[in-house]
Every structure is written in structure tokens, then in C-alpha cells.
Structure 1
């Protein structure tokens, strides 16, 4: 199953990190777990090399020199590695991203940040975290996290939905679990229509040399080109059952999309009072009245300033549409009066009131 393979891959990543840290016992546990979930030659090779290393050097557990002398490459082979492959600042940058609770914190901007501020913050972080430059463990996941953040926050509609309800995956997950999560993994999946690497190239016009090209797997995870080629060769040998299993993520995506349509909440506000929206509020800028539910203060967690900007924009758009209809009606009546040469009708048509246009003009001149 794909879920077992994804979990096995995560166990392998933890195992490699523990080997780098010299914690061979923990590495062995994660490797054995990975083999139980989804046996691979890489995990088998790492287990055998780990057993050989432990036999040759029983004191290697916790030995700080291990990280300086050796590392485990992606294909499971042991290579000489310098401690200068990644710096302490690079590790700290990755850890900082992993501790973040929302997209604004990931980019280090406020909820009132402009598109320019968001793009500037992304460019700074992308240069620090691009996997071709930052070799620290977890840099690829951190790079995807900032990609997710900028993809949502520079899209006006996605940002509005995120401010009001959070990310779509988080809403679906909370609907299933019905419990509070202390941490949400913002690197899962990717919320843009293009890949993280393509998004990076949009900002930097080409990016770093692509000796380590990143490609996308069926489950939304990322792998280097060499891993993708290995996976492709393995897929050619699979039978009909494996092909069906590979279709499961697509079926799951369809089910989640259908479920999300049932999870759409009521609007936060209304421009008209009714039984559901009975509490009146007024925007600070244009003094536009709007109405919210009784539980507004306890339920709404977004930016009040951005909400009031949305209220004012909707109110002004409604006025413009009403003004257009009023002018169109008056011009139609004038044309009819002139066509029939009816002076009385012409006088009445010329004096038809346009209250929406007057209100709109007053607001623009204020």
C-alpha cells in the first residue's frame, strides 16, 4: 500500500538522521520498522552496514566523531563527508520552519502583509533553504513549506479562505478527528498549481543548476531524479493489482473533494440583517454596517481588518451595480419619452432619482 511505503520512507529518513547523529540503536529500530512496513533494498543495505559498523566499533553509539567521518548516501552507500556540507545556521533555519504554526509565521510576516512583503520574505528564505544549496536534513521539506505558504498568501481568494477557515487539508483533517491539534504539518502536499521548483524559478528566473532535480511522486511527496527513475523501473514490473493501488490516491482526492463541498461553512458576515445574522457591526473605515452571528467573537479567529476590507469592497460593488441599473432605467425612460414626443413623460424621466449613485458619489468624495 502507498500509505505503508510513505511511512517506511519516513522511517528511513529518521534512521539516516540517527546514523548521522551517532545513535545507532535508534537507527536500527527505525530501519527494522521500515522493513516491516515496506521492505526495500536500501533499508536492507543500511541494516547490514549498520550491523557491520557496530561489530567493528562497539563504542560508536553516541560517538561525536561519527558525524564528522562518515555519512550515508541516498543509495545506502557509506561515503566520506566533511562537516562543512551544511552549517549550523542552515540547520537552525530548517528547525525554525518546522516549528511554525501557520503560513504567516513560516514566512515571518504579519497577517496584514502586502504581496510585496510576502514575495520579499519568500525570496530571502528560498535562497537559504533550496535543497541544492542547503544540505541540512529536512531542507527539502522546509523548502516545500515556504512554497506552500507563498502559493496561498499571494492568491487573493486562497488567502481570504485561509484567513477565515485555515488550510483546506487542515479543515478536512479536523472534521474527521474532531479534536484540537497542537501542530499541523504545513509541508504535506502542495497547494499551488505548479511544483515548488517551478515556483522558485518564477521568482529567480532559472534558479540553481539542476544537478539535483526534484520530481513529484503520486502521493504528493518529493524525490530526487535518481529515486524517480528507480521507482519508474519498479513500476514497469508491477501487475494489475499494483496499478489499482496506485489509483487509490486519486480516488481519495476525489472523495476528499466531495467531502469538502459538504464542509463549506456559512459566510462570516452579511450586509443584511436576518435571524441568523442579528448582531450589527460597523467598519472603521467607511462606516459600513454589517451583521454577524452571535458567536462571532468566540468563533472568528482571522484578521478583523481584512474582514472589514472585504465588507467594504462588497458594499461598494453592490452600490455600483445598483447605480448602473438606476442610470440604465432613467436613460431608457428618456429615450421612450423622446421617441413618443411626450414632454410630460420626458420631464418625469429626467427627474428619476438615483439614490445608489448619489450614495456612491458621497462615499468617494468623503
Structure 2
């Protein structure tokens, strides 16, 4: 299960990575308090997130955290901005056709009709006129395929957010344990162990 106390297995061998995470650790303090799941949902899905009704759909992901060099580069670029956007965990996932995006996880003047997927009841928004005039609204098969894409997009983002939160929690525990575990900060260690992994909880609800 994501978010288990297995994160405590991080040992002092991770100390060599402390420079990599040091700038992000203080930003993660925003997540020590409990956050409403619906707020979390709105936090990382931007209004540009969408899916194409057209036949030639291309998928692109913007501003998502990943591993390796790309992760390090984005973390460096957004460290300062992260303090104002819940620890830098806002995500925007866009599914673009050659013309425009056609579904969103956030209500906007364009995406004005709220719907829920048949499975898991994931909320999403479409443009009412475009949706009604599309084949998706008239075909159960196409609607099911469309909603599957919505759910997959939602779960994919939850997974990325969960992995990021777990990574930050491990780093907080690591720092609190001190050099080689010889000089632990008991209070900081207890706080780190109690950090909630809200995205992981949401992800686990899909299993």
C-alpha cells in the first residue's frame, strides 16, 4: 500500500542525497496539516486539462514531477514559486488535440457541464455544446472509452503526487535522524512520521 510506515526504512545511507532534497523539504511543511480530498483534487488539476473528442488526439503532460534529471531541473526552477502553491505540488495535465482540449478537471466558462465517470465517480467537466454534438454522447462504447481516459488521467496524477509526498516524507525522517542516526531530533522525527500522505490515501481508494 502507498503511504505505509515503510518509509521509515530510509536510513542514513540517504544522507548523500540531502543536498538534492534540502530546498524542497521546508516547502513540504505545508502538507503536515490535513487537506480536504476535494481541495487536493482541485490543487493539481489545472483548467487546461482536457481530452480530445476529435479522431487525432495527441497526449502531452506539462509541469509534472518525474525522476532523474528532469525532476531535478524542475525542482530547481520551481523552488521559490512552490512556497506559494502548496509546496510546489500543483500539477496541470493536458490532453490536446490539434485544435483544443475537450475535458477539464476544473470548472471554467468553457468547461461548464459537470459529469461523473461511471466507475469511481471521478468528477470532470466538458463543454456542454461540444459534448452533446459529439459521438461520445450518443455511443455507450465511445463514452466508456472516454471515461476510462478520464479515470486513467486522474489516477496517473494521483500516483505521481503520492510518490512525491512519500519521497518528501522519507527525506524529513532522514534529516530528523541526524548524521548516521547518532543525533536524532526526537520531536522532528515524530512530526515527520505523522505527516499525512493525502494523495496516497486517494490513490489507495482506487485499489
Give the TM-score of the pair, scaled to structure 2: 0.48
Higher helix share goes to which structure? 1
Larger radius of gyration, structure 1 or 2? 1
Give the TM-score of the pair, scaled to structure 1: 0.28
